[in-house]
Amino acid sequence: MSIFSHPDFDNHEGVYSFCDPESGLKCFIAVHNTNRGPASGGTRFWTYVDDNAALTDVLRLSKAMSFKNAMAEIPLGGGKGVILKPEGEFDREALFSAYGRAVEKVGGQYITAEDVGVSPADMRVIKTQTNFVAGLDDGDAASGDPSPHTAEGIFRGLEVAVKHKLGVEGVGGLIVAVQGLGHVGYELARKLKKSGAQLIVADINSEATQRAADVLKATVVSVDEIHAQEADIFAPCALGGAINADTIDDIQAYIVGGAANNQLKTAELGTALMERDILYCPDYVLNAGGIINVAAEVSGTYDYSWVDGKLEGLRKTLQEVFDRSASSGRATNLVADEMARERLKLS
C-alpha cells in the first residue's frame, strides 16, 4: 500500500522509517503539521502485530497531536514516533541510542518525548544523540515526567463535563470506572479518590490493580468488563480503540473521558455516543496536559504558572466544544476536529 493511499494519511508533511539492524531498531516518525511550530509528540515503544499496524498508529497519533497542540493553543505542531519492540532479548540502551540518531536525522522538524513503554531513563539515552527531546528530568528547563500534568488536565476537564452533563460541582460521590492504571491512569484515579469519587478499576497488571484496591479502596473488575460498569464516568486510560463496535452498546456511563489517545475506533462512534445521550470528551482536548508541560520545557524557560494557565484554558476549550455540539446537534468529536482544523488553518 502506498503511504498516500493509506486510510489514515492526512496530508502528513513527512513520514520517516528507520532501521538499525545492529540494535534491532525499526521505527516510524510521522510529522503531521508544523503550522504552529516544530512537531512534537511522544515516542511509543510497543509490540505491534505487523509493520502496517505500527504505521497506522503513527499516522493517527501524529494527527491527533496536531489537533491536541492546536486546541491547547501551544506553539508546537503535531508529530509522533513509534518503535516496534524487538522479539527476544535486545540491548535497550543501544536501541534507544539508535532511535536518538533517527530523531536527529529528521533535523528538528520533530521533538520527541515520552509515551507508552518509554521511561525517563530512555529519554536520557535519546538525549545523548540529539537535542530534539523533551520530558527530561534534569537540565535548566527540565520538566520531568509529563504524566502528572496529563492527569491534572483530565481531572479539570472531567469537572467541566460533570457540570455540563450532570449539573453538579466536582466528582465527589460519583462512580468512575478507570480503564488502565499506568502513570496517568493511576494518578487520575488518585485525584478522583481524593476528591471523593468511588473507583472501579481494571488493568492487565495485577500489581497495579492490587495497589489501587489497597491504597485507593477501588473495586477491581476484569479488563473485559470495565467499560460496561454502572458508573457516572468511564475513563479509558489504556491504549486506543476502547470505544468500538463491540463495546459501545455496553457503556452505561453518562460521560466518557480519559487519558487514552484515539479512544474512538472510528469517528462515527462519536455520533453513536451522542445518540445514546452519552457525553464524549474528545481525547486530544482532555489529555493535553502532558504536552503543555513539554511545551514549557521546549521554550527553554520552564514556568509552571504558564502551564497552569494553559491547563485552565483546556477547561474553557472543552466547554466551547460542548456548547457548539449542543447548539449544532453534532457530535463532540466532530466539533473538536472542526475547531482544531480552524486553528491549524487547514481545509
Q: Tell me how far apart the alpha carbons of residues 8 and 171 are, in angstroms, rounded to a whole number.
A: 36
- What angle is formed at CA 147 by the lines to CA 32 and CA 312, rounded to 5 degrees? 80
Per annotation, catalytic residue among 26, 68, 80, 127? 80
Q: Check residue 280 and give left, alpha or beta (phi > 0: left; psi -120 to 50: alpha).
A: beta
Cell readout for 12 is 502528513
Rg (CA), the chain: 19
CA–CA distance from 281 to each of 120, 155, 221, 273 (Å)?
29, 12, 23, 11
Question: What is d(CA 97, CA 80) in angstroms, rounded to the nearest whole number?
Answer: 17
What is the SS3 assignment for 33? strand
| Secondary structure (3-state) at 34 | coil
Clarify whether 80 is annotated catalytic.
Answer: yes
Contacts of 77 by beta carbon, 8 Å cutoff, 6+ apart: 31, 32, 33, 34, 35, 36, 37, 38, 39, 40, 65, 66, 69
Catalytic residues, which ones?
Answer: 80
